[in-house]
Structure 1
Amino acid sequence: MGAAAAALAAPLLLAAADLAVPPRSELNRPWPFFTAEEPDEPPVRAPADALKSFAMPPGYAVELVATEPLVQDPILMEFDGEGRLWVMELPGWAHNLSMENSLEPVNRLVVLDDSDNDGVFDKRTVFADKLVLPRAFKILAGGCALIGEPPTLWKACDTDGDLKADTREKVADGFARLGVLEHGANGLFWGMDNLLVVSEHEWNVAYRAGQFVTVPGLRRGQWGVTQDDAGRIYRNVNTDPLFVDYVSPDYFARNPDLVRTRGLYENLVDQEKTNIWPAHPTFGLNRGYRREVFRADGTASYYGGVSSPLIYRGTRLPADVQGMAFVADGATNIVHLLRLKDDGQGRMAAEDYYARGEFLASTDVRFRPTALAGGPDGTIYIADMYRGVSQDGPLQTDYLRDYINKRGLARGTGHGRIYRVVHVGANGAAARMPRDARPQMSRDTTASLVAHLAHPNGWWRDTAQQLLVQRADPRSRPLLERLVRDRKTDWRTRLHALWTLNGIGGMQPALALIAMADTRPELRAAGLRLAEPWLATGDRKMSKAALALAVDANWQVRVQLAASLGALPAEQRTAPMIALLNAQGDDPVLVDAALSGLKGGEMAVLTALAGQAGAPREALAMLSGALAKRRDAAIGQLVAMAGDAGQPALVRNALLDGLALGLAGGVQAGGNAVAGGRAGGNIPGVTRQRGGGSRFELASEPRGLAVLADGKDALAEPARKLLALVTWPGRPAPPALPPRSAGEEALFRRGQSIYVEQCSGCHQLQGQGQATVAPPLAGSKRVAANGDVPVRILTNGLEGKIGLMPPLGSAMSDEEVAAVLTYVRQSWGNTATPLPPAAVKEWRLAFAHRTTPWSEKDIDAPQR
């Protein structure tokens, strides 16, 4: 094994002299590049002309390796063990001039092959067709693939070797909802721990005893999944490019009482500091009407629809980008590069790699990168759907729909391109690039697959592991064990060997102990996870080795220990959990990892921690939050503790905050607000409709809490917040209309004056309306609807059954519109939320392109 591994450390190459040069973008053109030209109707460019639209840093270029008709409407891609590229095609997306999604079976999973090995794909085979809006696929061994076709996850197989699926079996129901594309399940990324991660979904997929089964997870991410050499999972959301999982989702899924899940899906990029640099004006975004947040040249400074993160783990691009994160932003026609950094403790952070300029920027508005993939040749491939539209009709704002229609961007579908990134040096002298030799893994022996775990290109290691797990050849076990035990072997190889052994049922307690004692923290953390079956039995030797890592120098190891403690028998769990939280209980990630395994034991741990000097506030808050979310009988006791003046202020504050958080349901995951309002769907200053959940009933009035709420110290406000979430026998019911803030009250009073002066003549003083003049506002569904509806009616007008409601608000300021609508929405029994001026400004801009009043049909249709 040693010789084979050493040989593969320098991968086999195809001689540069034998390689043709595919069509390539221009090297070393001015960069960063920008053009102010905006064609009235951007044309569909031929592939050769599209290549001229690209600008990249010095020394980089892209090569065109596939184009229509060989590939059409590509959205996802992955290489198989033979070096073939599998591509999911989605011609049914935004398929007509209305940009609707077709529910007809017109989509496909195809396999592209380079039959003459010249670096350009020349053969196309349709593996599976007649698919309805598929969202994900995963290549498997034996000519099979998982296919996520909402609402079903299928396993499709080619049984006769022609690369065309002839069998299909259902793996699971509930794989997203049909018709929901942007927020539907996707991913099926085979992680190093052999969990197939599904983004935007409540379950993941595991491979056990030759079968794929669903396992509980938590909904995170939006489009795309990747991993680094340590096996950490990375995802994204529409307005943020990179999140990491420090803790596997299965830990958090085991305890639904958690009020927070720090360590799962941690944002790595500071919104205030990251910027993008498109090569042309980019007003064609859903929020493109927010012109004040664009640069003077018309370029967006923030992502318009980021997707498909890829941690580069290849060998053919310069060393300085290895381990860095690439993301696609099809809405602004770029591929962005982020510098990924580890603080040496396992805490990750990311920042823009270039202070100004993009890794790849196109002046062609139809360049829509949808997926990035590492390849067996050690470089990066980019799938370009090549569409004028990057947002389908159901989720377009009215502004974007108008923008697209005026420019004819919905026309010109059925195209698609695949590019390969190359680096030929700053001087551009080298015309050809060597590439790693093409794999033939389905024909490789088990020993050869094990040897591939030492390959420097992460694609080879990942693919070899997946094939070994599915092959489950007993002959691989001694070879893998030898790698684990050989400390001279690269740590990445040993990590893959550990997880491969676990995947084939070959993990032994001795190997977990070896991993926990390793010098590399990645191995120690993995050893803890792999030790859990023996921790669950109370194995003393394993428990001792695990607990010794409570003082490990590496943060990631300590966090993993916090999660793994939950595997211990319940009676053995409490004492080490108290010790760990007492020492490190103000680390939010470690706290949430620990609490994930403490279901049912929170009160004992909380009581022990609260009684110690310098109690960890973070742990106390989350423990009390879990109890409150579960609506545990201990809530009354905790409320009494919070109101007890004899308790330390720190303990009381933690209990107040935790109880309020738990009774309110916990922290809401996700969200798409962006600093400065640069992107995203959330409107600055607009809150969700208030009111809702039932109060928790206490046995009697919490007098200590009431006294605290009436005070003026720092505990008064959190006490009032908690008091609003509880009730007791004899307490009056809460008012239907929550109290207005001082600012809201000022708006209300001003709005009353405006209403009496300008609106009451038609709608009457009590909002009762007049049969042939104006509809009633009291009890009106449109008044109480999402805030954009009344703003649009008031500022654009409404043509209704009674007649025309004129656009009176067009002559009002944002503050005046906000004031009168706040008054109307909170008078005569109406209980809708107030509207801040910022919301009025937003919706006025969003529909500024309209020159005619709304129809009743249009005003009642959902808007983005």
Structure 2
Amino acid sequence: MKLYIYTFLILLVFSLYQCKSYKKAVQKTSATEQPVDFSRSPIVSPQDAIGKMKVEDGFEVQLVAAEPLISTPVAMSFDTKGRIWVVEMTGYMPDTLGRGEDLPSGKIVILTDINGDGVADERNVFLDSLVLPRAICLIDNGIMVAESPNLWFYEINGDKPGKRTLVDAKYAVDGNVEHQPNGLLRALDNWIYNAKSSKRYRKKGSKWIIEDTHFRGQWGISQDNYGRLYYNDNSTNLVGDYFTPGFGATNKNQRNVSGYSERTVQDNRVYPARPTPGINRAYMPGILDDSLRLKNFTAACGPLIYRGALFGADYEFNAFVAEPSANLIKRNILNENGYQVKGKQAYQGKEFLASIDERFRPVSLYDGPDGALYVVDMYRGIIQHKTYATPYLIDQIKKRDLTQPLNCGRIYKIVPKDKKAAALKITDDPKSLVALLGNANGFIRDQAQQYLLDQKNKAAIPYLKEVLSTGSNPLQVIHALWVLEGLNALQTHEVLTLLKNETWSIRMQALSVIPSVINGSSYRSYALALQQDALLNDEKAAPYIAYLTNFIKSYDDNAAKNIQLALISRYRDNNFVADAVISTMPYQEEAFKQSIAKLVPDTNLRINKQLQRAISNYKSTLKNKDPFVLAKQYPKGSALFLSTCQTCHGPDGNGIKSLAPPLNKSEWVTGDKNNLIAIVLFGLTGPVKVNGHIYEAPEISADMPGIAHSEEISDEDIAQLLSYIRASWQNNAGKVDVKDVVGMRTKLKGRQKAFTAEEFK
């Protein structure tokens, strides 16, 4: 009863404060000098919407497409004709309860600018009757389409879908709409990567190859000029990899590999141009500032490493991040120092772009063929999925009529005012295409590389090899290298020559390509090259060499061990090298630790500490219970764990770096079941101590959402979920009954806000 009164008083005070703050907000706004009433959020025309945006000085926002030409866009891609292929997720949240989400209303459409004025004029439906489609990738005269749970490949015949091939029947079997794989980024290394996924894909001939990789992000994924990947989760500005994406995901006994899933930008502060009370947890202290503006990211998504060149030198190696809940786009400035890429926000107190239109919902950002920055705007009121929507947010949606309409959507591009954005045309001429591999615009370089591969353009090989041997533009050399790799025309002597190049970025790519070209005829040459002092003494190259020993040992285990010992003797306290070495020896860690005991006897050195951690992880895993047995005992609980919990806490219950703490052997799971029920119902925010370690941002996301208000999850489901978790892995706690959940729900009736750890003391 005390808890109910406490909660009621907090919400009452907040409501009174909100009314007072609304009056203050009406008097002033950063996006316009005219008084604005933020208590309503009416739909406005695209041009009026642009007028409500405040963009960085010297830039302007231009309309590319809008309703009725498109509806609820979530992703897009350019083809070589300059047309835009758009994913329409029209079924997303038709109302606050999400009724009708399972209807096949989604589409893939092609937008064409017929008169060349930069605005789309024509819409062609390529695919329809899709259920919540989420990503596409144009490749090999076809298109990949992600429609949960499947990943499909459609041949394209005259802008119509041809033969359909199932690439992956388990592309998105777990997680809800907010927590399922997406992205389909066709990266520099010719593999296709995803956010919210640990899989990568590649098409070779008529076959699709699927490999494990690092788990990355939540919505949206991008790459820099050297193929390193960047991503984030909804509470995090930017996360990224320091090394090539194909390395280091080969030892399941490593929970984290140094240099992957690293916090690139620590600062999560945002600066909306308007009050943002329509945030899922806006009623909680600390979420909004004293003017009702969101303080920190809550829906970060669609990160983009800008590579368009049009913006000028100050915008090179900049990362832009969308925040649809706060109607803004953030700019970050990145810098590279040794292995590490770190960044800071470009501004304090303002954003690159911020709108006072609450329906402006930027969800995905892209480079374009003209160097502009393209923005996909869902343009709608409801952005939060039903699984986590709080009564507070539902009330906000109703008060300000945010449900309708549902048929809007816009695509914008941002360009400098003093420069003309002109798209380059991709031609069929092989020499011209190879020349485009050195274009200043990274989008053009990527598209030229992909087009050469899609057309299997063997006529380009002589020009590519000429670039490799005499090219003076490092970026052109790098792209030429990967085109040759994709055409199966890269030779060993060419890679060995590039390993000696004076430019680090070229040496880096030469190291990265070795797994693709090493074979029974060439492994001796590569093993010998990697043992040369010139490379071994290059600290930047050391982790790459360590990762490569995983491919050397398939042919010569002794050579691989000699290289590893040489690296350890030089970099014995380097965590990046240590983790790279350990990644190559799953289930061999203990024997390797004994073999290097004389070489590195100090147990405090990184190599020994991280080897022991992997050994302990393996031994701990042996004690885990059989998940299939538990799934039969608690089928609903197992299914709910896979769809709601696993995506943040990991399938092994040991947590995921930058997302969530462990459930395995957690006192929060195995302790008082009523506390666990309360947390699952209403969520947990802020720091939490698990097994003596305090988890807080940026190590994990600051908030765990509750599911008390989800109409699709019953109390029986929750009881099974908690019983499943309390019995899984090495947990051995008692069963949770439905009556336990009902009892806690009744006791906490009226509560909306998430718990803090302090409340359970």
> What TM-score comes out, normalization by structure 1 length?
0.69
- The C-alpha deviation readout for 1:474-503, integer Å capped at 9, x for no partner, is 2222211111111x4210010001111111
Identity across aligned pairs (percent)?
Answer: 29
Q: Which residues of 2 match residues 261-300 of structure 1 at below 5 A?
A: 261-270=257-266, 273-300=267-294
Query: Which residue number corresponds to residue 130 of structure 1?
Result: 129
- Are residue 519 (structure 1) and residue 502 (structure 2) matched? yes
- The C-alpha deviation readout for 1:753-790, integer Å capped at 9, x for no partner, is xxxxxxxxxxxxxxxxxxxxxxxxxx9747865xxx86
Instruction: Select the residue among 212, 215, 220 that pairs with 2:211.
Output: 215
Does the CA-based 8 Å contact 1:550-1:580 persist in structure 2? no
Higher strand share: 2
- The C-alpha deviation readout for 1:424-453, integer Å capped at 9, x for no partner, is 15xxxxxxx422244144xx1222222211
Instruction: Select the residue among 837, 842, 845 that pairs with 2:758.
Output: 837
Structure-1 separation of matches of 2:47 and 2:107: 26
Query: Which residue number corresponds to residue 340 of structure 1?
Result: 334
Query: Which residue number corresponds to residue 394 of structure 1?
Result: 387
2:103 maps to a residue whose letter is E
Structure-2 separation of matches of 1:556 and 1:404: 52
Structure-1 separation of matches of 2:115 and 2:683: 48
Does the CA-based 8 Å contact 1:251-1:597 persist in structure 2? no
Query: Which residue number corresponds to residue 73 of structure 1?
Result: 72
- Are residue 165 (structure 1) and residue 164 (structure 2) matched? no
Structure-1 separation of matches of 2:58 and 2:363: 24
Query: Which residue number corresponds to residue 796 of structure 1?
Result: 749
Does the CA-based 8 Å contact 2:83-2:112 persist in structure 1? yes
Instruction: Select the residue among 548, 552, 561 that pairs with 2:545.
Output: 561
2:315 maps to a residue whose letter is V
Q: Flag the structure with larger Rg.
A: 1
Structure-2 separation of matches of 1:735 and 1:194: 45
Does the CA-based 8 Å contact 1:502-1:530 persist in structure 2? yes
Instruction: Select the residue among 144, 149, 152 that pairs with 2:150.
Output: 152
2:55 maps to a residue whose letter is M
Query: Which residue number corresponds to residue 615 of structure 2?
Result: 627
Give the 3 Å change call, closer, same or farther, for CA 397–735 of structure 1 in structure 2.
closer
Structure-1 separation of matches of 2:514 and 2:258: 23
Query: Which residue number corresponds to residue 252 of structure 1?
Result: 248
Structure-1 separation of matches of 2:691 and 2:453: 50
Structure-2 separation of matches of 1:390 and 1:734: 36
Does the CA-based 8 Å contact 1:260-1:667 persist in structure 2? no
Structure-2 separation of matches of 1:510 and 1:191: 25
Question: 1:608 deviation in Å?
Answer: 3.8
Structure-2 separation of matches of 1:375 and 1:734: 50
Query: Which residue number corresponds to residue 56 of structure 1?
Result: 55
Query: Which residue number corresponds to residue 41 of structure 2?
Result: 42
Structure-1 separation of matches of 2:488 and 2:527: 21
Does the CA-based 8 Å contact 1:34-1:280 persist in structure 2? no
Instruction: Select the residue among 422, 432, 435 that pairs with 1:436.
Output: 422
Structure-1 separation of matches of 2:744 and 2:687: 15
Give the 3 Å change call, closer, same or farther, for CA 100–307 of structure 1 in structure 2.
farther
- Are residue 408 (structure 1) and residue 401 (structure 2) matched? yes
1:370 maps to a residue whose letter is V
Instruction: Select the residue among 543, 548, 559 that pairs with 2:527.
Output: 543
Query: Which residue number corresponds to residue 102 of structure 1?
Result: 101
Instruction: Select the residue among 296, 300, 313 that pairs with 1:302.
Output: 296
Does the CA-based 8 Å contact 2:366-2:375 persist in structure 1? yes
Question: 1:736 deviation in Å?
Answer: 6.3
Q: Which runs of 5+ in 2 are unaligned?
A: 1-27, 624-651, 662-681, 693-729
Q: Which residues of 2 match residues 710-725 of structure 1 at below 5 A?
A: none
Q: Which SS does the other structure have where 2:160 is aligned?
A: coil
Question: 1:257 deviation in Å?
Answer: 2.3
Structure-1 separation of matches of 2:358 and 2:324: 9
Question: 1:578 deviation in Å?
Answer: 2.5
Query: Which residue number corresponds to residue 677 of structure 2?
Result: none
Query: Which residue number corresponds to residue 5 of structure 1?
Result: none
Query: Which residue number corresponds to residue 410 of structure 2?
Result: 417
Give the 3 Å change call, closer, same or farther, for CA 555–327 of structure 1 in structure 2.
farther
- The C-alpha deviation readout for 1:95-116, integer Å capped at 9, x for no partner, is 1353346111111111111111
Question: 1:311 deviation in Å?
Answer: 0.9
Q: Which SS does the other structure have where 2:76 is aligned?
A: strand
Does the CA-based 8 Å contact 2:426-2:433 persist in structure 1? no
Give the 3 Å change call, closer, same or farther, for CA 521–280 of structure 1 in structure 2.
same
Query: Which residue number corresponds to residue 230 of structure 1?
Result: 226
> What TM-score comes out, normalization by structure 2 length?
0.78
Q: Which residues of 2 match residues 596-611 of structure 1 at below 5 A?
A: 596-611=583-598
Query: Which residue number corresponds to residue 829 of structure 1?
Result: none
Query: Which residue number corresponds to residue 9 of structure 2?
Result: none
Q: Which runs of 5+ in 1 are unaligned?
A: 1-28, 426-432, 636-663, 674-679, 691-732, 738-778, 798-806, 819-834, 841-864
Question: 1:535 deviation in Å?
Answer: 7.4
Structure-1 separation of matches of 2:468 and 2:34: 54
Question: 1:403 deviation in Å?
Answer: 2.1
Question: 1:50 deviation in Å?
Answer: 1.2
Does the CA-based 8 Å contact 1:318-1:423 persist in structure 2? no
Q: Which SS does the other structure have where 1:145 is aligned?
A: strand
Question: 1:629 deviation in Å?
Answer: 3.1
Question: 1:137 deviation in Å?
Answer: 0.4
Give the 3 Å change call, closer, same or farther, for CA 402–632 of structure 1 in structure 2.
closer
Give the 3 Å change call, closer, same or farther, for CA 375–839 of structure 1 in structure 2.
farther
Q: Which SS does the other structure have where 2:38 is aligned?
A: coil
Does the CA-based 8 Å contact 1:259-1:622 persist in structure 2? no
Instruction: Select the residue among 442, 460, 464 that pairs with 1:458.
Output: 442
Structure-2 separation of matches of 1:389 and 1:581: 53
Does the CA-based 8 Å contact 2:587-2:618 persist in structure 1? no
Structure-1 separation of matches of 2:117 and 2:620: 66
Give the 3 Å change call, closer, same or farther, for CA 307–681 of structure 1 in structure 2.
farther
Structure-2 separation of matches of 1:296 and 1:35: 21
Structure-1 separation of matches of 2:56 and 2:736: 57
Does the CA-based 8 Å contact 1:236-1:307 persist in structure 2? yes
Structure-1 separation of matches of 2:396 and 2:402: 9
Instruction: Select the residue among 452, 456, 463 that pairs with 1:479.
Output: 463
Query: Which residue number corresponds to residue 481 of structure 2?
Result: 498
Question: 1:617 deviation in Å?
Answer: 2.5
Q: Which SS does the other structure have where 2:237 is aligned?
A: strand
2:51 maps to a residue whose letter is K
Give the 3 Å change call, closer, same or farther, for CA 528–837 of structure 1 in structure 2.
closer
Give the 3 Å change call, closer, same or farther, for CA 672–399 of structure 1 in structure 2.
farther
Instruction: Select the residue among 564, 574, 578 that pairs with 1:587.
Output: 574
Does the CA-based 8 Å contact 2:227-2:245 persist in structure 1? no
Q: Which SS does the other structure have where 2:81 is aligned?
A: coil
Does the CA-based 8 Å contact 1:371-1:382 persist in structure 2? yes
Question: 1:407 deviation in Å?
Answer: 2.1
Structure-2 separation of matches of 1:541 and 1:132: 51
Q: Which SS does the other structure have where 1:475 is aligned?
A: helix
Structure-1 separation of matches of 2:373 and 2:269: 23
Give the 3 Å change call, closer, same or farther, for CA 522–418 of structure 1 in structure 2.
same
Query: Which residue number corresponds to residue 628 of structure 2?
Result: none
Q: How many positions carry a matched residue from both structures?
A: 644
Give the 3 Å change call, closer, same or farther, for CA 82–282 of structure 1 in structure 2.
same
Q: Which residues of 2 match residues 179-198 of structure 1 at below 5 A?
A: 180-198=176-194
Question: 1:630 deviation in Å?
Answer: 3.1
2:269 maps to a residue whose letter is N
Query: Which residue number corresponds to residue 636 of structure 2?
Result: none
Does the CA-based 8 Å contact 1:224-1:235 persist in structure 2? yes
Does the CA-based 8 Å contact 2:136-2:146 persist in structure 1? yes
Question: 1:38 deviation in Å?
Answer: 4.7
- The C-alpha deviation readout for 1:304-361, integer Å capped at 9, x for no partner, is 2011111111132232112211111101100110001112x24100110112211110
